[in-house]
Amino acid sequence: MALLIEQSPETAADVTAAVVDTYTARRERVQEIPLADLVAGSVSADLSTVTAVVAGDMRVVEIVAEDYDDLERLAPATWTLAGRGWDVIVLVPCNRVGDAHASLRAAPCRLQPWWLDEHGVWFGALETP
Residue 120: which of 11, 4, 34, 1 has the closest Cα? 11
Checking if the pLDDT of 19 tops 80, the result is yes
pLDDT for res 111 = 97
**Looking at this protein, which amino acid is placed at residue 106?**
A
pLDDT 10s digits, 78-90: 999 999 999 999 9
pLDDT 10s digits, 25-61: 999 999 999 999 999 887 777 888 899 999 989 999 9
Q: Strands of 120-123's sheet, edge to edge?
A: 31-34, 51-55, 60-64, 87-93, 110-117, 120-123
pTM above 0.85, yes or no: yes
Residue 99: which of 74, 62, 125 has the closest Cα? 74
Question: From the centroid of its chain, how far is CA 44?
Answer: 19
pLDDT for res 10 = 55
Checking if the pLDDT of 68 tops 80, the result is no
Secondary structure letter of residue 98 according to DSSP: H
pLDDT for res 127 = 95
